[in-house]
Each structure stands twice: as C-alpha cells, then as structure tokens.
Chain A
Amino acid sequence: METFIHQVIAGIATGGVYASLALALVMIYQSTHHINFAQGEIAMFATYMAWTLINAGVSYWLAFVCTILLAFALGVLIQRIIIQPVEKAPVLNVVVVFIGLLVILNSIAGWVFTYTIKSFPSPFPKEPPFGLHFISSHELGSIGVTLVLLVMLYGFFKFTPLGLAMRAAAQNPDSSRLVGIRVGWMLALGWGLAAAIGSVAGMMIAPVVFLEPNMMSGILLYAFAAALVGGIDSPGGAVLGGFIVGILENILGAYVIGTELKLSVALVLIIVVLTIKPAGLFGKVIVSRV
C-alpha cells in the first residue's frame, strides 16, 4: 500500500513537470491557435541562459527573474522575425518552421554548451518536506510554482482587457483589427509570455532531469498529451491533464503492463479518452452550424 501511495505521489511530481510545459503550450495556443513544437527547446534554451548567469556568479533569484525577462524578449523576437512571415501560410508550412526552429535551438545549445549533463540548482531546501521520503521539497515546490502560474494565467485571460484582446486576436484576427486590436503585437506578446512560462518550467524541470540539450524532447510529448487531454484551450485542464498523465504512467508501469510498454499504453488510453471527449476533459466543444 505504501508503495502505491508513493507511486501516486511520484506520479503527481512528474505530472507537475508535464503540467508546467503544458501551460506554455496552452499559452501559445490560446494566443496564436498554433501548437508550437519548439516550445520545449525554447524552454531548454532559456534554462541554459539561467545556468550561464548562475555560473557567472549571479544569485539564483536574480538569475531567475532575468531569465524570465530574457525568455520573454526571445519569444517576442522569434515571433516578429521568424514566425510573422508565415502567419498567413498553410498550417503545414508553419509546422515546418516550428520544426526548423526546434532543430536550430537544439543544435546551437549543443554546440555552445555541449551535450554533457549539467546540474541545475534548486531554490528549495534539500531536506524532504516533513521528513517523509515520498516527494522531494523541490518537486513539491515546483508543483506550487506551477499552480501559481496557472492562477495567474487564468486570471490574465479571464479578467484583464489585455487577455481578452489576445484571445480575440487569436480567434478572429480580422474582426479584432476592426475594433482596434494590434493583432501583430498580440501574437508577439503571446509568444513572449509562452516563452516566459516555458523558462519557468525549464528551471523547475532541470534540477530533476539534469540540464542537457535533449532534456525536453521526452517531456514535450507528455506535455502535448496532457494539454490535449485536459483541453488545449483550458489552462486548468492542461495542469490537471499533466497530473493525470503522470499518475497514469506510473501506475501503468508499476502495476499493469510493466515499464516496457507503459508509454504506449498511456498514449492509447489518452486517445481513447479523446475519442469519447474530442475536445479534452475541460475543453470547449465548438459546434459549427452549416
């Protein structure tokens, strides 16, 4: 029984990792209606920027804040320079550009920082919370950070005029322009915010999985699945999706099918969920009348 609880809690911990990246995916989707495959690499790159700052002697929290700002700037730049020319292009072309971006960031990170793993510091204490061994303080703290981000994101989109403008720009760019929304800059803002969220995700993930250029590739698939299961336009759904995926994967691996096939079975289950509820558990179902 104890092991079962431990597996569930471990699942929540890894789920927190998926949830944080899933939030970045939701952010980019809500503001641009594209799923950015390069989101993981941007997060990874931002984490390397943090690592460089910390190695140069900057204190953790200062580096944390600087990285968020730098990531934001990077996101905006990428949108304005690289993505904007293909905004009107067919979806597949945009996907190829995303893939190009992914490969470029990964390759440059490998060239500049090499592929050897690096340890990344954690701001949370080293001792496990309450002396229990089920979860580390860092993992607990990361979940907390993810939840804070979730609340901020939810509030931003639901209650602020800027959030509303961004959602409008993504849903209906032409009408938005008519009411005076600067669509181009809304998209850039969306990219910037997604990159910033991604950087936080990266800085929370790196202490767990160790920093290296390929660190996000395994996580991106899970984050993608989590975001879809929860509903790609629902931040809360994405976070819940992350926890579900984490727990599901652990339980399947430990008790049902063994670790060799757990990923396949987890994905099959997710797809089954999606066939029953095509918009995800908490997504909005869009009904179009002909």
Chain B
Amino acid sequence: MKKRQFALSALCLSILAFALPATAQKKYDTGASDTEIKIGQTMPYSGPASAYGTIGKVQAAYFKQLNEQGGVNGRKINFISLDDGYSPPKTVEMVRRLVEQDEVLLMMGTLGTPSNTAIHKYMNAKKVPHMFLATGASKWNDPQNFPWTIGFNPNYNSEGKLYGQHILATKPNAKIAVLVQNDDYGKDYFNGFKDGLGAKAASMIVAQASYEVTDPTIDSQIVTLKGSGADTFFNITTPKFAAQAIRKVDEVGWKPTHYLNQVSASVGSVLKPAGLDKAVGVISMLYVKEGADSRWDNDPTMKDFKALIKKYAPEVSPDDGNATYGYAVAQMMVHVLKQAGDNLTRENIMKQAANIKDFQVPMVLPGVLASTAPNDFALFQTMQLVKFDGKNWVEFGKPVSVR
C-alpha cells in the first residue's frame, strides 16, 4: 500500500515539475502583473507648451478603448500621465513619483527636449525603459551610453540636413534666410541644416533671425528676412509661430521657396489658421498620416482614430497633427508590448524595442517602416518630402534614407 502511495505521489510531483516551468514563463518587473501594465508619462498640460497636451489626451483615450476591448494579452494598461508644465524640475519630480511611488513598468512618450534631458541619466541609472520620447533631438539615439532610452520622432538634425541637401541639389545658388526658435529644438534643426549645406552653408545663408516662445509675434523677424533679399526660406518654428510666419510671408509680398519643419506641418492646426492659399508650395516632410488628408478618408486606422476621439476625446480636433502623432506612438507601444508577451521584464521590453524589424505602424505613412537594432535606436530612418498643393500634402520624389 505504502509503495503505491509513494509511486503515485512521485508521479504527481513529476508531472507538476514539468507543468510548473511552463506556467512560470510569466516574468514580471515592478509595474506589470497578470492583470495590469503600468505606463507612466509626463506631458505639458499647462504652460507655454500646453498645445502638445493633445498627444497625452489621445493616448489616454486609446488605452481606455483598448482596455475595454480586453487590453494587451489580457492585461489592462494603467496609463498615468502627469503634467510637468514644461519645467524640467517639475519633470524630475513627477518622473520620480511615477517610478518610485506609482512604480510604473516603463515611461512612454515623455515630451520635451529639456524635460527629457533632466531625467535622461536618472532613467538609465534606475534601469527603467524610457521609451518613444516625444522629441526629435539627436541625443536619444545612444544605446552604448543610454541603453534604456529610445526616441520616436525622426531626428530633427537629420531632417534639417535633408532640406539642406535638397537645396544644394535643386537650387545651388540659393540665398537662404532662416527663422529659428531660440531653444534646443530650433538649434538642432539649424545645425543639421548647416551640415546638409556643407561648406557652402556660410555663403548661402544670408540672413537668420530667432524668436522666443514668449514673443507675441514674429512680424519683425520676417521683415528682416525679406529685406535680406533671400529667395529661399527655412522656417523652424512651432505651430503657432509657423502659422504666423506663413501668413506674414504672404502679407509682405515675399515669395521664397519655403521649407517648413515637420513638427508644424499639420494642415489642421497650422495651415488652415494661416490660410490654405498662403501655404501653397511649402515643402516639408511627413511620416504620420494627417486627419485632414482626404486620401485616408477610407483608411481603416484613420476611421478608428476619428471614431475614438469622437467618443473619448471630443474636444480634440481630428485635423490636429498632434492627435494622429499620439495615436501612432500608442500603436507602436502596443506592438512592443504584444511582442514581449508574458515576459514583461524591463529588460525584455527594451530587447523587443531594440529589435523592431520593418514594422508598419498603421498610422504612419505606408512605406515608412520602423526599424531598430541593438546598436541603432533611430526608429524611422526614411523621410518623405512633401509639397502642399492648397488642399493636401503631396509626396514628391522617393523616400530618402537619413541617418
């Protein structure tokens, strides 16, 4: 009798021993569990950069709807987005709260170059994934020294370079005027632009003017730039000032070849207020689909997006470039989480993020694929030049590869 009991229990134990490792495949770090994944974010919902708050709002709506549909691999996303007012000390405080008190698994889409600079060292010291930053500064692509940080936006520096190279190729005798926002963002673009022009930068750039985000208007700067006799204009401005610049350029009767940085290329939030007719011929770069672009009227992801914000964020306009951008980032995040499966350790999530192979984010232009490698965290490495025709951005030329 005893022998049989012993054999039976041995058999059960050995079956268990085989079964347990299979269920023990689930691995969690702080912030992840069977039922929930905690994601943290800081966003300027107040202060001078509050227009970008739309990004966080759309992402919150996205995760809310996703949770109602069952979440990611059966886990709900607990998305905690805090206001940092675009002030770096506040960002530090909020991020420390998210990491140390709320114990999030990772940070997604934190916005702002100075804000992210303030927490860059901290996130890597604490080994918390610092993912898909809402800024295009070149310093986020540094896996050697900062293996836990991965950006999202195509590099501002590379974009500036693209325009510089385009001018060299199409208009080598151009006289260029530049309007630069006086901060990290503006400088990054400008430096790339000068790189793109190479040795001819000094002779080609005949005028430059800067402005502060607190300035009421940039009218005086436009007058100066026009007065320099330039025939090409590189407009490095954030949305409000981009709209002012486009309008003022038209008002003063200046007709340069007009390059506009991608951040302000939204038809809905920039070109429409400025006046669509005034923006005809403006050249920019596009990688996310635009709500106002009629090409995507029947596109499934665009339809989902419009329905989402109608239901969960009705104050957001579907034409707002920030809104589709936020949606794209959320889609990217969900893709990485899905790839991670049940192994929700921070290390594995970064591993998945570092090994994205030609992924087409539905809200990103078809053909612009996201790819990363362990030694190169730049997500989008092809850029598409577009020109405005009065209604939509129209692609011209082939997508260019940029590093």
Contacts and interface: CB of A to CB of B under 8 A. Distances in A.
Interface stretch (A1-9, A48-56, A184-192): A1-9
A219 B216 contact: yes
A57 to B, nearest CB: 19
Contact of B224 (A7, A17, A116, A217): A7
Given A115-B50, A210-B243, A133 B216 contact: no
A254 B220 contact: yes
Interface string A32-64: 000000000000000000000000000000000
Q: State the 3 A-B residue pairs at the shortest beta-carbon distance, nearest first.
A: A3-B227, A119-B273, A133-B253
Given A210-B243, A260-B182, A116 B220 contact: no
A14 B218 CA distance: 10
A208 B322 CA distance: 23
A181 B272 CA distance: 52
A164 B314 CA distance: 50
A212 B53 CA distance: 13
A133 B251 contact: yes
B272 A119 contact: yes
A263 B212 CA distance: 9
Contacts of A213: 50
B273 A3 contact: no
Contact of B209 (A119, A212, A259): A259
Contacts of B315: 114
B243 A117 contact: yes
Interface in B37-65: 46, 48, 50-51, 53-54
A199 interface: no
A233 interface: no
A116 B215 contact: no
25 contacts: A7-B223, A10-B220, A11-B220, A114-B315, A115-B50, A116-B269, A116-B320, A117-B243, A118-B273, A133-B251, A133-B253, A213-B50, A214-B48, A214-B50, A215-B216, A217-B214, A219-B216, A250-B223, A253-B209, A253-B220, A253-B221, A259-B182, A259-B221, A263-B214, A263-B215
A17 B244 CA distance: 15
Main SS at interface, chain A: helix
B220 A249 contact: yes
Contacts of A141: none
Interface string A228-246: 0000000000000000000
Contacts, number: 103
Nearest to A249: B220
B219 interface: yes
A128 interface: yes
Interface in B252-311: 252-253, 269-270, 272-274
A114 B240 CA distance: 14
Given A117-B273, A119-B273, A254 B224 contact: yes
Given A13-B219, A117-B243, A253-B221, A110 B273 contact: no
Given A6-B223, A117-B243, A259-B211, A208 B51 contact: no
Given A114-B315, A115-B50, A14 B217 contact: yes
B239 A117 contact: yes
B51 A14 contact: no
